[in-house]
Amino acid sequence: MPKDAVGRRRLLAASLGAAAALPLAACASSDVPATPYRSPNVTDAPAARNVRDFGAVGDGVADDTAAFAAAAAVGNTALVLYLPAGHYMVRSWPEMSDYATVLGDGADVSIIVCDTDTTLINLSKRNRVRFARLGIFMAGAHSTAVVLSECFRCSFDAVVIRGNHLSDNHPRYLEQRGVVLENNTGGTAFINCDINNFGVGIVTSCIQNYVTSSKLTSNYIGVLGTGSDHNAGLAMTNVEFVSDNDPRTTDKHIAIDGAANDWWLTNVWFEGADIALSVGQRDRGGPAQFGMINCKVAARTVGIDLVYCRQPYLTNVQFDADLDKPPIELRIDPTGCPEGTAINLISGSTDELNPAMFPDAWHVMGRNSVHSPRFTGTIVGRAGRGDTDIFQAQTADGAVRSAVLSSGAWLSDHPESGIVLKDPAGGYWRLSVATDGAVKTSSLGSQRPRE
């Protein structure tokens, strides 16, 4: 990998980490625009409740907890809560009803700051609650930003959720959690979001939740699929997992620690972890299905570690190194993952992964070779243009031993190959031809020949 690319990633991760480590003093009024921006999409809506109208200061110093609670007190009416640009210090989050909406002026200007060891936003049995254009910063070493329990169809759109975990303060903030999805929460969507600098970015023990067009940066574990109850699963599309190359920053981008449901990854980029993806545990099981399509995987020691999975499916995955020393690109436990499908897996930018690294029962298809444990039904070989062979049997170095010609005739290209036949008594005989054209037989004994 080019050294300048590694340097660029280090600089990017460092800048993001530095933003997460800003002291609370940095959230003071000097950072708030002198002329507050007023969102026309929010202030023109009659139902919108501006937290500043209820006493919120938003200077990064004043405690705005009570003002948020007063602004959210709407009874059974659907809440639209508006946070103009500012840094709002809060110690807890108010109760929210179904269909509530919380809007800001942008994730970099409307920022919620919590410096206590608490779960800030805790929604239970809520439907279609929406957060958009906000930033959430958690400073407590044992804090969690968001927990959704038995919630349905909630969404986060253009939301930045940031913790305080960095390589320099490891392991102080490893207990920080960004988002926790539990108790059959479903239909949750994270769109154009950033979840950064947590001990674990997303914890899920649920299925049918979605992350798209988003980024997870410098989390010690990016996504943890947990519970070991055949339920945890996630679908991710157009997602980046990035970090620096310090092992204290990121250990794994995705870790599935036991029995789980379906995991589907499409157009996902990984770099800057010790192990990019760890799938299943030998003594606890793993996903019912695990699929990756059109992904890029770079890591320090192991790219994809398939420990236990019933139906792994990998297509168009490119592997690369985060350091000068190449990692183990794909490690497969043959006991936990005896069968699977791999199509067009590339090492670096040109080479295919060696089919010998896959367990025997895997179906492996590359640009120049196909490995399959068995074929069922009629196999058809069709001649190409001209006099090209329909089929060839080759040695490991590519030398042709026999072929089926375009006419359908069988040809042995090696004098010692010939045809081997078995007689009724169980003996094997090789048919060969002499230089004068005479056909002769040679006994091979009763053992099935291997060459």
Segment 272-292, tens digit of pLDDT: 999 999 999 999 999 999 999
Which has more confidence, 410 or 212?
Answer: 212
CATH of the domain at 212: 2.160.20.10
- Identify whether residues 22 and 107 lie together within a single domain: yes
Confidence grade of residue 368 (pLDDT, cut at 50, 70, 90):
confident
Provide the pLDDT for residue 19: 41
Worst-scoring range by mean pLDDT, 53-62, 241-250, 403-412, 425-434?
A: 403-412
- Identify whether residues 62 and 127 lie together within a single domain: yes
- Identify whether residues 139 and 69 lie together within a single domain: yes
Backbone dihedral region for residue 3 (phi beyond 0: left; psi -120 to 50: alpha; all else: beta): alpha
- Identify whether residues 322 and 291 lie together within a single domain: yes
> SS3 for 51?
helix
In a domain, 450, yes or no: no
- Identify whether residues 401 and 299 lie together within a single domain: no
- Identify whether residues 297 and 255 lie together within a single domain: yes
Is the pLDDT confidence value at 11 over 80?
no
In a domain, 377, yes or no: no
Provide the pLDDT for residue 230: 85
Domain boundary among 341, 371, 401: 371
Which has more confidence, 18 or 117?
Answer: 117
On whether the CB atoms of residues 250 and 272 are closer than 8 A, the answer is yes
CA angle 206, 210, 214 (to 5 degrees): 130
Worst-scoring range by mean pLDDT, 199-203, 224-228, 319-323?
A: 319-323
- Identify whether residues 279 and 397 lie together within a single domain: no
| Average pLDDT, integer, range 156-184 | 97
- Identify whether residues 126 and 177 lie together within a single domain: yes
Beta strands in 163-307 (DSSP E): 177-182, 189-191, 194-196, 200-204, 210-217, 221-225, 234-242, 252-256, 260-270, 275-279, 287-299, 302-306
- Identify whether residues 396 and 338 lie together within a single domain: no
- Identify whether residues 332 and 440 lie together within a single domain: no
Q: Is the pTM of this model over 0.95?
A: no
Provide the pLDDT for residue 280: 97
Q: Domain range spanning residue 101?
A: 3-371
Provide the pLDDT for residue 47: 67
Rounded to whole angstroms, the Cα distance separating 123 from 95 reads: 8
Is the pLDDT confidence value at 305 over 60?
yes
For residue 357, the tally of other CB atoms under 10 A from its CB is 15
- Measured in whole angstroms, the distance separating CA 406 from the mean position of its chain's CA atoms is 46
Domain boundary among 371, 405, 420: 371
Cis peptide before 171 (omega within 30 of 0): yes
In a domain, 145, yes or no: yes
Question: CB within 8 A of 179, min separation 6: which ones?
Answer: 145, 146, 147, 148, 161, 190, 195, 201, 202, 203
For 226-251, write each residue's pLDDT tens digit. 988 889 999 999 999 999 999 999 99
For 112-167, write each residue's pLDDT tens digit. 999 999 999 999 999 999 999 999 999 999 999 999 999 999 999 999 999 999 99
| Mean pLDDT for the chain overall | 88
Provide the pLDDT for residue 349: 61
Question: CB within 8 A of 160, min separation 6: which ones?
Answer: 107, 108, 134, 135, 136, 193, 194, 195, 196
In a domain, 379, yes or no: no
| Amino acid in the structure at residue 421 | L
Which H or E run contains 12? helix 3-20
In a domain, 376, yes or no: no
Q: What percent of the chain is predicted at pLDDT more than 70? A: 89
On whether the CB atoms of residues 382 and 404 are closer than 8 A, the answer is no
Confidence grade of residue 390 (pLDDT, cut at 50, 70, 90):
confident
Domain boundary among 340, 371, 402: 371
- Identify whether residues 399 and 256 lie together within a single domain: no
In a domain, 263, yes or no: yes
Is the pLDDT confidence value at 45 over 70?
no
In a domain, 295, yes or no: yes
Provide the pLDDT for residue 385: 73
Worst-scoring range by mean pLDDT, 34-38, 248-252, 281-285, 378-382?
A: 34-38
Q: Exposure of 135 by Cβ count < 10 A (0-12 exposed, 13-18 middle, 19+ buried)?
A: buried
Provide the pLDDT for residue 194: 98
- Identify whether residues 210 and 309 lie together within a single domain: yes
On whether the CB atoms of residues 43 and 66 are closer than 8 A, the answer is no
In a domain, 88, yes or no: yes
Total domains, the chain:
2
Confidence grade of residue 23 (pLDDT, cut at 50, 70, 90):
very low
